[in-house]
Structure 1
Amino acid sequence: MDENSTTNHEVVLDVNKDVSTTTEDSNSCLNVFFLQKLVAEVVGTYFLIFAGCASVVVNKNNDDVVTLPGISIVWGLVVMVLAYSVGHISGAHFNPAVTIAFASTKRFPWKQVPIYVVAQVVGSTLASGSLRLIFSGHENQFPGTLPAGTYAQAFAVEFIITFLLMFVISGVATDNRAIGELAGIAVGATVLLNVLFAGPITGASMNPARSLGPALVHNEFRGIWIYLVSPTIGAVFGAWVYNSIRYTDKPLREITQSASFVKGKGDR
């Protein structure tokens, strides 16, 4: 083996070592990169809940001026904007059900799940608290989610709409055959669609953090178990069903190494 071959071999070893180190760092809970992800999740969830719940509060305080289609558009747009803003940093989960579903399909490390969930709940609670401070007195409206019908009906609706949301996320954000650049639009449109028809029935949560934050701030916990359990089960089922039909000989995007909504260095 000549000197050039030896040098090239050493370079390859160094590159592989760097890749291995990067992968280990991305899976660790004690590094700057993970802290950046947590900040992105807190900030992203904050603005998601602030914008979406603000549209609900404003609508209640101003004779339904925003309307159901308007509220649906707000939720859809804020999801889309935030997915493109911080998707490349944290994966833009903003939702414990999504995080757990990714972990259940081995596309997110289980050891990071509890910290991600805490960050999301903190962001939601801070947003709900901000709205309560801004809209005080007679303008203090509960922007959370409550079943309009029976608990069984609410459970079924939340399961179905979260299943659809996670099914779409799995398709456009974790499969290299999809057009990754349009993932934010597809997910935002799915949220808009779900809120349009499910909003009057359950509030169209699809997100345990979205329901828990306002519940904590307003001390309103009626039916909260539905919004914690049903979306989580629906998301897990949605992820697993998509995985069952995604068979391909092409590699899949590694959520643990790159963003959920943007193709990046983790694509293989």
Structure 2
Amino acid sequence: MDADEQNARPVTGAAPTAPAPAAPGRSSVPVWLQELEIPVGERSFDDPRHERLRLFSELLGTFLLVLVGAGGAVVGAVSDGQISRTAAVTAPGLTVLAIILFMGAISGAHLNPVVSIAFALRGDFPWRRVPGYILTQLVGAALACLVLAAVFGRVGELGTTSPGAGVTGLQAAVIELLLTVGLVSTILGTASTAQNVGAMSAIGVGGYIILAGLWSSPISGASMNPARSFGPALVTGDFSQYWVYLAGPLAGALIAVGIARVLRGPGGDSGGRAAARGRTGRDATAG
């Protein structure tokens, strides 16, 4: 046997060796906490293990929004009117801006039932997730008003939104409709592939909320959000004017979705899905 044949023959009697896998160590971190520690950019929106994180994000965000929005009236009553109308309408807009920046990549920072519905109508958000988002938003709003009532008592009507003096419910509902058309149009417009401005959309949305409040809060309170109005109504037990803040914003959102279709065609693009579902960066193009 020549050297070439000898080199070609397989070596028998010895199994190939491979490095033994390292023995997994026991972690003291609970499984559920390990799941929450997965980086945001690597999460799959369709992974149900992360649904509770998204819902908690919506609950926390809506809690903070209503705490500030309703809290302006409460603190104003406690401090003998030291909260001006300008401050009262500016604070919620700045709060929304901050919330979008710090947790928009988790849940999309809807913070508003009509926003969740609008995203779903555009095909950017799955309908099966809408009930959970809406329920969580309502719970967050109610918790905020319960905290205000526990700390300050039932003063300032707990920030209840209601038509202004001399304003009928129908007039207030029409204003809420028009305001919501602008709000949802701003949200959908900055969330499309044609004009997805990412984190900068927080400035547009927050700025719009401030602008709407500055000119219309004496008419309707500039709620534009059924959850914002639900919290005070539930805690005070007065739903007599709640229809204004349900019918107006819902109709406004439907109109805004129609406008978005006219301007940009059907939704469901990668930019809209990324904004509605909370995915940013390279995940935004993953579909």
Alignment TM-score > 0.5, same fold: yes
> Partners of 2:66 and 2:171 in 1: how far apart?
24
1:255 deviation in Å? Answer: 2.1
> Partners of 2:275 and 2:115 in 1: how far apart?
17
- Of residues 143, 147, 158 in structure 1, which corresponds to 2:163? 147
Q: RMSD of aligned C-alpha atoms?
A: 2.3
**Could you tell me whether the CA contact under 8 Å between 1:146 and 1:203 is conserved in 2?**
yes
Map 1:68-217; keep pairs closer than 5 Å.
68-136=85-153, 139=155, 141-148=157-164, 149-217=167-235
Alpha-carbon displacement from aligned partner over 1:11-47 (angstroms, at most 9, x marks no partner): xxxxxxxxxxx99x6346xx22111100000011101
Map 1:200-239; keep pairs closer than 5 Å.
200-239=218-257
Report what 2:75 is aligned to: 58
> Could you tell me which amino acid in structure 1 is paired with residue 144 of structure 2?
A
Report what 1:11 is aligned to: none
> Could you tell me which amino acid in structure 1 is paired with residue 126 of structure 2?
P
Q: Relative to structure 2, which stretch is displaced further, 143-152 or 239-248?
A: 239-248
Question: Which structure has the larger Rg over C-alpha atoms?
Answer: 2
Give TM-score, length-normalised by structure 1: 0.83
Q: Relative to structure 2, which stretch is displaced further, 228-237 or 187-196?
A: 228-237
> Partners of 2:197 and 2:148 in 1: how far apart?
36
> Partners of 1:257 and 1:200 in 2: how far apart?
32
Structure 1: gaps spanning 5 or more residues: 1-21
Q: 1:78 to 1:213 in 2, by over 3 A?
A: same
Structure 2: gaps spanning 5 or more residues: 1-41
> Partners of 2:157 and 2:279 in 1: how far apart?
33
Report what 2:16 is aligned to: none
- Aligned-residue identity in percent: 33
> Could you tell me which amino acid in structure 2 is paired with residue 130 of structure 1?
V
Does the alignment pair 1:266 with 2:287?
no
Report what 1:26 is aligned to: 45
1:59 deviation in Å? Answer: 1.6
Give TM-score, length-normalised by structure 2: 0.78
1:133 deviation in Å? Answer: 0.4
1:253 deviation in Å? Answer: 1.2
